[in-house]
Amino acid sequence: MTIVAAREIRNGDIVFGGTGISLLAAMAAKHINAPESVMFFETGAIDSKLEEIPLAVADSRVMYLAATSSGLFDAFTTMQNPITGKHVIGILGAAQIDLYGNINTTVIGNYIKPKTRFSGSGGGCDVASFVPRCIIFMQQEKKRFVNKLDYLTSPGHMDGSNGRKKAGLREGGPTMVITNMAVFRFDEMTRQMYLAGCYPGITTEQVLENMEFSVDVSRAVETLPPTAEELNILRDKCDPQRLIL
């Protein structure tokens, strides 16, 4: 999952990530295909020199040798700035996702008396509202790929092709969903999720069995597994202390 996301990051991208595998993907990209990508944290650290894995976006490790170490206001205005914002790619995770890539990180069940309470938006909604490209990490499970979200925390393509514009959001939105079984992308016209690839040994049927809604599978190809070199980079250079892997 991490390597698939890392490959999606382009040189020159400003990568907005959280912690865990999204952070690992951003670190791996710098070693593999996007050495000039810039890591960026909502807490205000830009282009941190990460010698160790931070365990939160506020971990003191993100402050070391950063270009600037400011605060939330500066961070979010960098992201929503019409000039720099164009280069930002977001990486998010969620409890639930729908056909259009809208996500829920807030509650399962009723909002006032939730069955399960999650952390909430954090900066997730701010990223999703603005950035031109966004990767979403998910576990491939029926209860997570749902027809209707219990709570729409962060906007994807809303209800389809013109959805973001109608809502008043900037163009863009999610471009890719990466799970433990497969990779999805979004159709240019309908903005619906489609299956773009399965991991080696995984069938399209297996993927669909783990979703409440069905998606177009006609464009699915086998996703290339990580190379030995890519794995070495992850293990030796990104997370030698094995805090995430």
Cα separation values, 88 from 39, 201, 205, Å: 10, 33, 34
Using the rule CB under 8 A, give the single segment among 55-63, 132-140, 179-187, 220-228 that binds another protein.
55-63
Q: In the structure encoding, which two tokens stand for residue 178, read together?
A: 């990466």
Alpha carbons 85 and 99: distance in angstroms, whole number: 25
Q: Candidates 67, 81, 86, 111: give the one binding another protein (CB under 8 A).
A: 111
Residues in Cβ contact with 180 at an 8 Å cutoff, skipping those fewer than 6 apart: 1, 139, 140
Nearest Cα to 233, choosing from 12, 35, 45, 18? Answer: 35
Contact flag: residue 139 with another protein (CB under 8 A)? no
Using the rule CB under 8 A, give the single segment among 5-13, 42-50, 180-188, 207-215 that binds another protein.
42-50
Reply yes or no on whether 52 is catalytic: no
Annotated catalytic residue within 42, 51, 141, 188: 42
Instruction: State which amino acid sits at residue 113.
Output: K
Contact flag: residue 20 with another protein (CB under 8 A)? yes
Residues in Cβ contact with 108 at an 8 Å cutoff, skipping those fewer than 6 apart: 95, 96, 114, 115, 116, 118, 150
Contact flag: residue 154 with another protein (CB under 8 A)? yes
- When the beta carbons of 44 and 197 are compared against another protein, the nearer one is 44
Q: In the structure encoding, which two tokens stand for residue 79, read together?
A: 């992201």
Contact flag: residue 71 with another protein (CB under 8 A)? yes
- When the beta carbons of 89 and 107 are compared against another protein, the nearer one is 107
Tell me if 99 sits within 8 A of 143, measured CB to CB. Answer: no
Contact flag: residue 101 with another protein (CB under 8 A)? no
As annotated, the active-site residues are 42
Give contact residues for another protein (rule: CB under 8 A). 19-20, 42-45, 51-52, 55-64, 69-73, 76, 80, 82, 106-107, 111-126, 129-130, 151-155, 158, 163-170, 241-243
